[in-house]
Structure 1
Amino acid sequence: MTLTAPPRLLLVHAHPDDESLWTGGTIARYAAYGAHVTVVTCTLGEEGEVIPEGLRGLGPEAADQLGGYRVGELRGACAALGVIDHRFLGGMGRWRDSGMAGTAANKHQRCFVAGDLQEQTAALAAILREVKPQVVVTYDSFGGYGHPDHIRAHEVTMAATAEVPGIDRVFHTVTARAHLDLGVAGLKELESLPFRLPADGELPAVDDALITTSVDITDHVPAKLSALRAHATQVQVWQGNDGAAAYALSNGIAQPVLATEHFVLARGSAEGIATDLFGGGGAPGTDGGGTR
């Protein structure tokens, strides 16, 4: 019998909760199928807007203890998704959440966007050399919706993966416009939804023509929902009696929980990647072979 090492997937995210919001189903899918999944988080999310009233004293304008609290939320989310290898870029608390663009937090001396890009790149490159992933996932150059930390995570990831050999593919996690619009249309049919419905085009997404890879997460939506619930300071999750689900961030805008997560190939071979980040090359649970 020939034993082969499990495929290795590494994802770089800006804040606790991003791993669940953007790629929770994909993480759960590959973890369940036996892949070695590593999540790297760049900050503690200290500037997040706290939803539960009883926890708002943790925020940066008060006790400034939110980052430490969110570490616990992240651990709960990783457990729900099956992640056993989580890292903070540069070590826990090395770089601080920069806040939204144009806020005073952008000028904090420890914020992620004010950090040295070469130091941040070297920190990620060291992780890449240790983990040796075949596939790396991060955001596109816009960071998905323009958050400074997402954009910096993109810059760091693209620089680090360019200098570390052995990485087969780099993907950007995105939201497909047509798929999102269908999900929003479904929200309009739900009764008792406690969130505001988004206006047409209000939620950021990319043109479907850009999508290279669509990962079916139908069987792993429950894990994604559990992970989202773990991030209770940042995410509200609602489910109807029929199982239909939606979530909202602190802005109270309803977002659908989709059964597919989408990606754009940024670097590497496009062969076999329509439904598999590993290109169907033997990743567990794909058409390329392997066992569950």
Structure 2
Amino acid sequence: MTGATGGLLLVHAHPDDETLTTGGTIAHYRRRGVPVTVVTCTLGEEGEVIGERWSRLIAAEADQLGGYRIGELTAALAALDAGEPRFLGGPGRWRDSGMAGTPSARNPRAFVNSGDAAVEALVEVLVELRPRVVVTYDPRGGYGHPDHIRAHEITTEAVSVAAERGWDVPKFYWTVTDASLLREHTAALARRTVDELPGALPKGWRLPVEPELAAMSTGGVTTEVDVSDVLAAKRAAMRAHATQVTVAPSGREFALSNNIALPVLPVEHFRLVRGTLGERGADGLEHDLFSGI
């Protein structure tokens, strides 16, 4: 349903981000017939690679990882029923900046150096598609990646500029992690591993330590979307990003190239930063991104 107007638009930094943070929400709304467009800002050229088969595609060797990840993103979006990939400015317009402090950020094409051109490119998409809901990261980019922070910056500005050019987005959200829920599910994983299913994690994986959880946890949750009925689609999309993500045989946990096990959560959380909250439940949270519009 990419290209349809009036739906949900999500701005993500690299292929796999759309699935890890909002894959359940994408599948949830597609199942309900809502048009969904995922705008990806880079090809993820600077990513690490899990396993040996495609390991030489990395930037330091063949520098072909970005092209390969287009295929992974295509398969992941198909699993979520979210159409074809749409890259900001076209495929390859901006390059993955890498982690903070790395030489890749000095590349003139690095997304962190995208300037006003990236904002303008996103404004064009917003005016074209007129989404009722827009989602991107919080100001720290979830866990501090420079490209996530840049995606937050350009989306925030583009939403404001688009309002001056004929489309005032009714609701604008940040995708966030609920710290207490993450810790609750991680503790449950630890109990299963130690008490119920010793050795349940794949070989080489480990449980996260508290500082690692704190690094990715945010707050200010206003909205919770129950994605438990579409977790099969989210897991399929995660598996499609095989150079970046491994899903445990149980389907309950996943890991990136660092082999730190994290739970696949049955809900996804957001913080409304523009617009008005809709109907809220007994927990005080909104449960539908489109509520009230």
**Corresponding pairs, count:** 271
Aligned partners of 2:168, 2:72: CA distance in 1, in Å?
A: 33
Mark the runs of 5 or more structure 2 residues left unpaired by the alignment.
281-285
Residue 37 of structure 1 aligns with an amino acid whose one-letter code is V
Q: CA deviation at 1:73?
A: 0.1
Q: Is contact 1:6–1:35 with CA below 8 Å preserved after alignment?
A: no
Q: Is contact 1:136–1:169 with CA below 8 Å preserved after alignment?
A: yes
The answer to whether the aligner puts 1:205 opposite 2:217 as a matched pair is yes
The answer to whether the aligner puts 1:193 opposite 2:187 as a matched pair is no
In structure 1, the partner of 2:283 is: none
In structure 2, the partner of 1:109 is: 108
Mark the runs of 5 or more structure 1 residues left unpaired by the alignment.
282-292
Residue 178 of structure 2 aligns with an amino acid whose one-letter code is A
Q: Is contact 2:6–2:129 with CA below 8 Å preserved after alignment?
A: no
Q: Is contact 1:37–1:85 with CA below 8 Å preserved after alignment?
A: no
In structure 1, the partner of 2:179 is: 177
Residue 252 of structure 1 aligns with an amino acid whose one-letter code is N
SS in structure 1 at match of 2:54: helix
SS in structure 2 at match of 1:11: strand
| Length-normalised TM-score, structure 1 | 0.90
In structure 1, the partner of 2:136 is: 138
Runs of 4+ in 1 over 2 A off after TM superposition: none
**CA 1:224–1:78 in structure 2 vs 1: closer, same or farther (change >3 Å)?**
same
SS in structure 2 at match of 1:53: coil
| Length-normalised TM-score, structure 2 | 0.90
Residue 180 of structure 2 aligns with an amino acid whose one-letter code is A
Q: CA deviation at 1:88?
A: 0.3
Aligned partners of 1:86, 1:168: CA distance in 2, in Å?
A: 24
Residue 181 of structure 1 aligns with an amino acid whose one-letter code is R
Residue 162 of structure 1 aligns with an amino acid whose one-letter code is S
The answer to whether the aligner puts 1:239 opposite 2:245 as a matched pair is no
Q: Is contact 2:58–2:64 with CA below 8 Å preserved after alignment?
A: yes
The answer to whether the aligner puts 1:119 opposite 2:127 as a matched pair is no
The answer to whether the aligner puts 1:95 opposite 2:105 as a matched pair is no
Q: Is contact 2:25–2:227 with CA below 8 Å preserved after alignment?
A: yes
Aligned partners of 1:120, 1:254: CA distance in 2, in Å?
A: 34
State the identity %. Answer: 54
Q: Is contact 2:206–2:260 with CA below 8 Å preserved after alignment?
A: yes
SS in structure 2 at match of 1:71: helix
In structure 1, the partner of 2:231 is: 221
Q: CA deviation at 1:95?
A: 0.2
Of stretches 163-172 and 17-26 in structure 1, the one that deviates more from structure 2 is 163-172
In structure 1, the partner of 2:78 is: 79
Aligned partners of 1:239, 1:200: CA distance in 2, in Å?
A: 25
